[in-house]
Structure 1
Amino acid sequence: MDLPHQGYRATKPRARAAPPTGDSVLFDDTSSAAPGMNSQGFYAPGYNIGGPSNDMQGGVAVNNLFTDPMANAAMMYGSSLANQGKDMVNKEISRFMSVNKLKYFFAVDTKYVLKKLMILMFPYTHQDWEVRYHRDTPLTPRQDVNAPDLYIPTMAFITYILLAGMALGIQKRFSPEVLGLCASTALVWIIIEVLVLLLSLYLLTVHSDLSTFDLIAYSGYKYVGDGYYVALAWSSCALMFFIVRSLKMKILPSLSSDSMGMGSSARPQFRLYITVATAVFQPIIIYWLTSHLVR
């Protein structure tokens, strides 16, 4: 009988043990303990761990939130603050950009437009320049030809842009960039003019019922007299006369109202300077905006 090689020992093959039964099981089978759990004890993908009980608990929590008096009071207080903030924002916007005021300046008809254009081109024959009121409210432009409007300035501004494009096209200098530059330059000059007027009235403490829309309207009338040389001279003189007579009723109150304390604290010559400067400034802007179109 051969002896086994040195360094090796003969071993018997181990027999497989039968799975334990009864109380000797070390780990319980939890595959059927909870729905949605696989044989390894993990939840299957897509299974809602919270289950319907969590949804019911969430619904109960939301219901409790709405039925809580403190929560209701807090929500009502927050809603009140939001409404107050909205009202304040709308009030501040309406001071400078009121829709009702804007509608007033566009309340025109054909008869008014024809009369106003005649006054703009031939203001020397017009006698009554006073703006009429009804219960402390100025009449609409269609009811009073002396009332300022924004319809004619807007149409005149658009006409100016179209004529500028036509003039540039005749001179073979047209391009969308140049036309856009003309429009933006004209718009910026109106903004600058209105801001200068508002600042001048504020610094000189001139109290009047002139609004921002009024100043935009009077500044926009310059685009009615588009033309050059003879037409420029005529329209400039007519426009200066129109501006002086129109603003005289607004910036230059009567001496009787000053004596009664209804006028401005600024001296009359300062108010006269603002009126004349506004009128003289109009032909300068007309020349600046049209000189490059005629070459």
Structure 2
Amino acid sequence: MTLPRHVYQSTKPTSWVSPPTEGGETLFEDTSFTAPPMNSQCFYTPGYIPELTGTPQGGAGIDHMFADPVSNVGVMYASSLANQGKDIVNKEIDRFMAVNKLKYFFDVDTRYVINKIVLLMFPYVHQEWEVGYHRDTPLTPRNDVNAPDLYIPTMAFITHILLAGVSLGLQNRFSPEVLGLCLSTALVWLSIEVFVMRLSLYLLTVLSDLSTFDLIAYSGYKYVGMIFTMLGGLLFGSAGYYLALLWSSVALMVFIANSLKMKILCGISSDSARTGAKLRFRHYIIVGLAIFQPLIIYWLTSHLVR
């Protein structure tokens, strides 16, 4: 079927050409878009790809942009700034958070976790309490069961909060506010305990390798005893609670006393009265911290188990 002539003429592409000058030459060349050819049915020819004038072939424009020396200098400068910013951030993180030191306390495996929990609950048969060293570097928890870690205190703390929620739910006393209060109270007591211990070591000028992370680890081991105590109360009532409290308290006292004794009493001899007084004060710190653990366990668990 052939379209009428007036329709065919209306579909013909138009081209704008500048008027000729007196010499017959145009002022400028026509660079407008040229319509693609049409077939006899007035449709565009299939497969036709229009040519874009002014665009370099094969993406030469992009290659030219990256080949520009100014662009290369800008890219290199931006990369240098990014690397410098990354180094500054890493230095600040290492300064305030001691990430490298923190990795040491989480270098654990399944065998260490099992052996450490057994040691916390049955410390009476353990003989060697000193942390091993390799080339003046303390062995990681993975390689030494006496080394302090933060994995067990962290997991025990989370488990304690979850178990507190279960206990409150069984008593129809659960609410987000009460659970949040248990969480904040446990964190406050842990912070106070670590602060008092750090202050006591500073006032007595105790020169040891105990860091803040070490103190957090030793103070956080009581959450293992707290879990054992709460399970005893939930399963066997008040009698089970007090029996579990007695067992976990004594075990924790023995563990804390033997572990800190190797750290705090190192390098002290009783040759003079002055060193003897320092030795007594250090013993007081160890005994005080050991006795303080059962009190905290009872304070944080007695209201959760009825």
Question: Shorter-chain TM-score: which interval?
Answer: 0.5 to 0.7
User: Alpha-carbon deviation of 1:138?
Assistant: 0.6
Tell whether the 8 Å contact from 1:96 to 1:212 is kept in structure 2 after alignment. Answer: no
Is the contact between residue 193 and residue 219 of structure 1 (CA under 8 Å) also seen in structure 2?
Answer: yes
Which residue in 1 is equivalent to 2:303? Answer: 292
Tell me what 1:276 maps to: 287
Other-structure match for 1:194: 194
Cα distance in 2 between the residues matched to 1:191 and 1:95: 21
Map residues 70-85 of structure 1 onto 2, 5 A cutoff.
none
* Closer, same or farther: CA 266–138 of 1 in aligned 2, 3 Å: farther
The AA in structure 2 aligned to 1:242 is F
2:281 is aligned with what amino acid?
A: F
- 3-state DSSP class of the match of 2:252? helix
Misfit runs of 4+, over 6 Å: none
- Once residues 128 and 214 of structure 2 are traced to their aligned partners in structure 1, the CA distance between those partners, rounded to angstroms, is 19
Listed one character per residue, the Cα deviations across residues 57-84 of structure 1 (whole Å, up to 9, x for unaligned) are xxxxxxxxxxxxxxxxxxxxxx9xx99x
Q: Distance in 1 between matches of 2:264 and 2:144?
A: 19
Mark the CA change 1:124 to 1:95 in structure 2 (over 3 Å): closer, same or farther.
farther
Radius of gyration: which is bigger?
A: 1
CA contact (8 A) 1:206 1:266 kept: no
The unaligned stretches of length 5 or more in structure 1 are: 1-78
1:204 Cα deviation from its structure 2 partner: 1.1
2:63 counterpart residue number: none
Aligned pairs for 1:129-144 within 5 A: 129-144=129-144
The structural deviation recorded for 1:150 is: 0.5
Match of 2:262 in 1: 249
Q: Give 1:90 deviation, angstroms.
A: 3.9
Aligned residues with identical type, % of pairs: 72
* In structure 2, C-alpha distance between the alignment counterparts of 1:97 and 1:243, rounded to whole Å: 26
Match of 2:110 in 1: 110
CA distance in 2, matches of 1:145, 1:240: 18
1:236 maps onto 2:249 in alignment: yes
**How far does residue 225 in structure 1 lie from its aligned partner after superposition?**
1.2
Distance in 2 (CA, whole Å) between partners of 1:96 and 1:203 is: 24
> Would you say 1:180 and 2:180 are equivalent positions?
yes
How far off is 1:255 after superposition? 4.3
For 2:200 and 2:267, how far apart are their aligned partners in 1?
20
- The one-letter code matched in structure 2 to 1:244 is A
Give the TM-score of the pair, scaled to structure 2.
0.63
2:209 partner letter: D
Tell me the distance in 2 between the aligned counterparts of 1:109 and 1:96: 27
Shift of 1:125: 0.3
What stretches of structure 2 of length at least 5 have no aligned partner? 1-80, 230-240
> Cα RMSD (Å) of the superposition?
2.5
Instruction: Find the aligned partners of 1:95 and 1:292 in 2 and give their Cα distance.
Output: 40
Q: CA 1:153 to 1:173, structure 2 compared with 1: closer, same or farther past 3 Å?
A: same
